[in-house]
Chain A
Amino acid sequence: AQKVTQAQTEISVVEKEDVTLDCVYETRDTTYYLFWYKQPPSGELVFLIRRNSFDEQNEISGRYSWNFQKSTSSFNFTITASQVVDSAVYFCALSEATGTASKLTFGTGTRLQVTL
């Protein structure tokens, strides 16, 4: 069974600090996709990034970067020079190829609070 663990329930940082959100996943499949979503207080889940299991190239997009390590089943997300607008709940999610299910399995989320 697929499982996503986000061990950090809540993180508080001061603006301009760097912060890393951890995500560890479990799957028996060799083909899968990983996602990060952001949920601001408004409630809408905003898609941030998608990675497939064959692409371990890490990515940087502006202040965001992602570190995918298949050997440790981790897909961590780093915000550099955090800003107050980054305050939100961040979800890591897994999508697998097996079976007929087309669904996302989400972690429990990490609430990030960025203060001045």
Chain B
Amino acid sequence: EAGVTQSPTHLIKTRGQQATLRCSPISGHTSVYWYQQALGLGLQFLLWYDEGEERNRGNFPPRFSGRQFPNYSSELNVNALELEDSALYLCASSFKGTFTDTQYFGPGTRLTVL
């Protein structure tokens, strides 16, 4: 069974540009989560999508947005990139969006903002 996949593996952008990161959940999973792992800041919850809807977001500005498609894959968009957006972005999926579910993570996309 395929795990969570993310693309691209690495992404290099310059300040002010937009970045788009993609995630495909494990087959059968309807919930997708995005986390940011920035140096020195640990793993921070960004967004949660379930059944095509944004269900919760963490303490991040509106320029972090995303969506979930009918096939449950998801896209994270970061507009007006800032240097501090450089981080590893991890996507996770779970069977349902309940607190009891285990979240399974993808390999991440490393975003570098120059």
Contact = CB atoms under 8 A, between A and B. Distances in A.
B42 A52 contact: no
B108 A106 contact: no
Interface string B16-59: 00000000000000010101000000110100101000011010
Given A100-B55, A103-B58, A104-B45, A43 B88 contact: yes
What's the interface size class on B, roughly? 20 to 34
What's the interface size class on A, roughly? 20 to 34
Contact of B43 (A50, A52, A91, A100): A91
Contact of A35 (B31, B55, B56, B102): B102
A47 B48 contact: no
Given A96-B99, A97-B99, A102-B97, A43 B108 contact: yes
Interface of A: 32-33, 35, 37, 42-47, 50, 52, 91, 95-97, 100-109
